[in-house]
Chain A
Amino acid sequence: MILSFAVNGKTVTVEGPPLRRLLDVLREDLGLTGTKEGCGEGECGACAVLLDGHLVNSCLVPLFQVAGRSVETIEGMAPQGSPDALQRAFMDEGAVQCGFCTPGMVMASRALLRENPSPRRKEIRTALAGNLCRCTGYEPIFRAVEGAAAAGYEVAPPPPAPEFRVTCTEEGRIAFFPESLPEALEILRQHPDAVPVAGATDLLPDLTRGGLPGPHRVMDLTRLEELRGIREEDGVLVLGAGETFASLGRSPLVRRLFPSLGECAASVGGVAVQNRATLGGNVMNASAAADSPPVLLALDARGVLVSGEGTREVPAKELWTAYRRTARRPDELLTAVKIPRPAPGTREAFFKLGPRRALVISRLTLVCAARLEEGRWRGVRIAVGSVAPVPHRLEELETFLEGRVPEEGAVREARRLAEDLLRPRTSREYRRDVGGNLVGRFLSSWISPR
């Protein structure tokens, strides 16, 4: 296909297959080699660029989704070879060692400073969490960002994007760009093999790793306004399936009503991944290690599946049917996730356990919710992910706890029961142990409040 987009304010027209990585287009077709490839999986951030002002990993952006959008790369910051103040700060603070991660670090810092001209150290850490450096200990990089901010570094708004114009050169239209939900549903009706693509953060690495050619037909979901929005309707929180983890993590409504969902959103990848990965994608990709499904399970959420025939709401318990399988029919689209407002006094806890704190593919996700009514536990919901092909609730444990009075014996018994109910295939003993301990930690919060 042939399409146009802006790179550093200049319109370029390129030709290539829809799923060609933006990274390759930049480096190979446009000769912009400042953007580097370190891992090809969105884990290192060396390929980070800005897309419509948002930080993204260009190895995870398929070409067809940049049509009519504006891309900023490291080359755009120093058009005449004179560094801008941020680049100079990197130089002055000794933040450049081998320099391979530097362009990505600079772009991540630029994205941060555009939004937040005087970030605190903690905010800098969050902003750079998706960018790996093996040479420095990151300290000089933090100092560089702080230095640029202190010097009043100003970031111009993203340059404008050209008009959306796409020509599909191959027969049978292999990329679709619906502008409305009905249009999208009609495409799915005609082409049930068309794969809806939102953030592509799972799709592209899967293709790269498997060496697969990819689906024949793809459909861009990023233009559908109907998949957007975070709002409350009649005591139910409605989350658009196209909302990114970045917007979920930032939403005061989500953070206030469902802290575990907010925490979960903030724990998915680095900023560049959070800016692309969507709630709908995470739900529909149905990875056993996905972060949001256990949360949605514990919150009694429902998925809204829409097709030309109508709309149905599927409870979270029925959404994931088997490993990487969902209840969605090929002609349906997940448009939203609905979560009932929690009863007053509900406490939630989100535990994600992996060998490392940041960016782990989770080895155990445990989400708990419960409240105390007249001295007894009520509304107990406990869901787990990563320990079985599909995430699930620990219903026996919930039943055991429901209506019980918080005391040490009950916690001990609940811990034991949780261990019994967890049956992971690997690291069995450890994950059961920790699962039990974490359930115990959640319940103990009613006994020895901290």
Chain B
Amino acid sequence: MSEFQVVGHSVTKYDALALATGEARFTDDFPHEGFLELALLWSSHAHAEIVSLDTSEAEGVPGVVAIFSAANVPRVLYTSAGQGAPEPSPYDMVLFDTTVRHVGDRVALVAAESLAAAREAVGKIRVEWKPLPPLFDAEAARDEGAPKLHGGDHHAPLPVPYDPGHNLAASVSFDFGDREGAFDRATRVEEHEYRVQYASHCALEPHAALASFDERGRLVLVSSTQVPFHARRITARVLQIPTGMVRVIKPRIGGGFGGKQEVLIEPLVALAAWRTKRPCRLVLSREEVFVSGRTRHPVRLRLRTGADPRGNLTALDLDALMGAGAYGPHALTVLSMVGGKTLPLFNKIPAMRFQGNSVYTNLPVGGAYRGYGATQGFFALNQQIDMHAREAGEDVISWIKRQTIRAGETSPVFKALGEGKEGVDQIVRSCALEACLDRGAEAIGWKEKRGRRLCPTPDTVRGVGVAVAMQGSAIPSIDLASVSLKMNEDGSFNLLAGAADLGTGADTALGQIVAEVLTVPTEKIVVLSGDTDVTPFDVGAYASSTTYLSGKAAEKAARDVASQILAVGARMLEVPREELTLAAGRVCHAPSGRSVSLEEVACDALYARDQHQIQASASHVAPESPPPFLAQFAEVEVDRRTGHLRVIKFVSAVDCGQPIHPALAEGQVEGAALNGIGYALWEEYRFDGQGRLTNPNFWDYKIPGVRDLPEMVTILVPSSEPSGPFGAKSVSEIGINGPGPAIANAFFDATGVRLFDQPFTPEKVLRALREAGGS
């Protein structure tokens, strides 16, 4: 099946056993006896000034050790976005401010001997508020009279557009070709407005962090983070202590999906520990994750497209208005990727414009979320291409095949839109989108079902729809990954990887890559990742980077070690090194049939002659970000009487290059697809008139469970990416980009009615049907 020995095989995930027996430790599973417990006072106002903060009664609660607020915590501007330094996000927050900007903003932190005492004290902090006019409507944010959220010394550390005077957290634009001319000449123009909503990552493990001290008095953080090195840097900066005084350990992580690419609570536990000289613990409740954690940015998209008589797109104009929420982490980069990770797919369009603005509002704070802007952009694009194909009387699948990027091609968008700086020119070197479309169409039964409007009962009708997507693999020329690798006497190897396995199985994938090079089983590779004291640097788990980027670093280090092994083997066998190969864990000399084992090589190097540790370190920065490609198909059933929209079958066909671990790759796609189905159908933030979230819990905010599950089919369509380790590209994010538009297109196929506004709740569906006269 696979041309490789280890890569391409679904080996046992390293931590699967310990996780299945409950022995593996997540952050809150570490012993914390004697730790101070932390509790936060959150703002109940969307926008207000703290006139005074009286902690005297709270301090009197037995067991209370310290209370932190703007009154006693130095004001250090930073961004909680876990990105490279300096971050492409504005420095617009401090640990505790005298102005709160959303319900759930931090007001004060209590450290106490017990959680009950900490919580009691939180309830006894008296705050005198001066309410400020709130800003909830992103459309009105740039108006002259709109309340201003930021100003003063708030600034962007990079030379990027930042204009707090107009509530602009970020803006981007690019433009090429004779757009207006093309629109003038177009025979068909479509212009529509789309809305995608707030959502929570809902990693089952909430944010958790522990802070303690090592014997040298250094701060040791155990944290549920995707970005150990960024967490170390940002925490040290906010506390104004040297980076070397902080160690961040990432244990097992209960999912992240971008929500833990944020340095959210590490500075809080670090502050409390540093100031009290006591170890401290903070675990957010589910409600706290909802209101104070990061979210998917809501976006309003206005998309105008023009086509020639054959339906070929000749002009595109996309305007995106993103609600950044109260602060701007990822406000620029997610916005950029609304265009940057979507428009290159349609590289035949000769004239394009993309304009985006990311505005502050007094609502929850946006951040990184699987899909990172592409999810939002593809929602609009995929519906609009469905319209154009229908108008041209062409099957949308053949339309997509003609109009999308292929191997050997490029798009000006790659260079135009980067992440905080210009992007990179790149030629797509692997693309199996056509095969994804064909195999997916077959799996869903496209030919038999499309346009048939089958009615299983008088009140229900079915339809099928498709959506296509791309993503990237790491941020090109920005993201750095590194590993070190050393050999032991028994022919095993320690791989120390900076990468952060957040539950994806990345440790296992990296181990497989090293094992493949060294021709040993994966059990011979002992992977340790996510400890800033022990492993070399890695940006962490985001931008779909680990397999592609950290994997390449692992491959480089393994090749270096392999060559050192051959050198020792050559000396041992007294043959020229060029005549040696590694095979099945031995150094082999084919001409003579002689060989030595890796154990013998390791012992020889460590104890016998020319003694040295066989070891290597390697770093990797990719000059390009090869996109994975995907086609997703939904079959839906609509109940015209209740508005209930049910997904019956969902097919994902994805080109992620060579899958390193097929089962884990499928798991990524399937999990992302289901997350996307939940986002399309139910998941949303509902606010009252004061900006308070009314559904901050799993009772009211529903994520897909077993009963909601459609028949899921996941197909990995092989390709080989020359720049990736053993041909691999990324796979972790892309699967969330298609469900929304594929379901909307399927709904149209069933009913002839468009859904422009996610989620497609029964209420909205019924309204849309009624407005269209279809009910």
Contacts and interface: CB of A to CB of B under 8 A. Distances in A.
B262 to A, nearest CB: 17
Interface string A198-232: 00000001000101000000000000000000000
Contacts of B682: 355-356
Residue of B204, B641, B667, B698 with highest tally of chain A CB at under 10 A: B204
B697 interface: yes
A211 B119 contact: yes
Nearest to B13: A96
B204 to A, nearest CB: 4
B707 A358 contact: yes
A55 to B, nearest CB: 14
A43 interface: yes
A432 B505 CA distance: 48
Interface string B176-215: 0000000000000000000000000111111000000000
Given A99-B16, A137-B670, A441-B641, A75 B707 contact: no
Contacts of A129: 705-707
A79 to B, nearest CB: 10
A223 B671 CA distance: 43
A360 interface: yes
B702 interface: yes
Contacts of B503: 97-100, 135
B699 A437 contact: no
A38 B15 CA distance: 20
Contacts of B254: 36, 38, 98-101
Contacts of B458: 448
Contact of A90 (B20, B253, B257, B642): B20
B157 to A, nearest CB: 33
B697 A36 contact: no
B767 A430 contact: yes
Contacts of A140: 663, 667
Interface residues of A, number: 72
Contacts of B642: 353, 434, 437-438
A97 B201 CA distance: 16
B293 interface: no
Contact of B204 (A78, A130, A132, A361): A132
Nearest to B735: A137
Interface string B3-29: 000000010110111011111111011
Contact of A38 (B29, B206, B675, B762): B206
B761 A355 contact: yes
Nearest to B770: A433
Contact of B699 (A33, A41, A77): A41
Interface in B119-178: 119, 123
Nearest to A127: B706
A440 B132 CA distance: 50
A346 B569 CA distance: 86
A356 B202 CA distance: 16
B697 A41 contact: yes
Interface string A409-450: 000000000000000000101100110011011000000101
A356 B681 contact: yes
A362 B22 CA distance: 34
B252 A99 contact: yes
Given A44-B698, A438-B641, A96 B20 contact: yes
Contacts of B502: 98
Contact of B702 (A41, A130, A133, A360): A360
Interface string B624-645: 0000000000000000011110
A355 B20 contact: no
A136 interface: yes
B72 interface: no
A34 interface: yes
Contacts of B19: 96, 98-99, 102
B481 interface: no
A130 B699 CA distance: 12
A36 B20 CA distance: 12
A97 B763 contact: no
Interface in B667-692: 667, 670-671, 673-675, 681-682
B255 interface: yes
B641 A434 contact: yes
A385 B593 CA distance: 82
A211 B20 contact: no
B455 to A, nearest CB: 12
Interface string B377-416: 0000000000000000000000000000000000000000
B435 interface: no
B285 interface: yes
Counting chain B residues whose Cβ lies within 8 A of the other chain, the interface size class is: 35 or more
A266 B674 CA distance: 24
Interface string A82-106: 0100011011101011111111001
A374 interface: no
A81 interface: yes
Given A94-B663, A99-B24, A99-B503, A135 B671 contact: yes
Interface in A7-44: 31, 33-41, 43-44
A139 B763 CA distance: 30
Given A96-B16, A99-B254, A430-B762, A134 B202 contact: yes
B558 interface: no
A120 to B, nearest CB: 14
A448 B459 CA distance: 12
B287 A358 contact: no
B62 to A, nearest CB: 16
A440 B699 contact: no
A193 to B, nearest CB: 22
A297 interface: no
B204 A36 contact: yes
B675 to A, nearest CB: 7
B707 A136 contact: no
Nearest to A128: B706
Contact of A355 (B29, B706, B762): B762
Contacts of A376: none
A90 B16 contact: yes
B698 A209 contact: no
Interface in B685-715: 697-700, 702-709, 712, 714
Contacts of B505: 97
Q: Which of B20, B119, B699, B703 has the most CB of A within 10 A?
A: B20
Contacts of B697: 39, 41, 43, 209
Contacts of B22: 33-35, 73-75, 102-103
A361 B706 contact: no
B286 interface: yes
B457 interface: yes
Contacts of A260: none
A318 B458 CA distance: 38
Nearest to B253: A98
B238 interface: no
Given A43-B697, A87-B17, A97-B505, A430 B255 contact: no
B204 A101 contact: yes
A355 B698 contact: no
A94 B257 contact: no
A239 interface: no
A313 to B, nearest CB: 33
B671 A81 contact: no
A359 interface: yes
B511 to A, nearest CB: 16
A16 to B, nearest CB: 12
B712 A139 contact: yes
B704 to A, nearest CB: 8
16 contacts: A35-B22, A43-B699, A74-B21, A83-B20, A94-B667, A98-B19, A98-B204, A100-B203, A100-B503, A103-B22, A125-B709, A270-B705, A430-B762, A430-B767, A434-B766, A437-B642
Given A100-B252, A134-B203, 17 more contacts: A34-B23, A39-B697, A39-B698, A40-B285, A40-B286, A75-B21, A87-B17, A94-B13, A98-B502, A99-B24, A100-B26, A100-B503, A101-B204, A135-B671, A355-B702, A427-B763, A440-B641
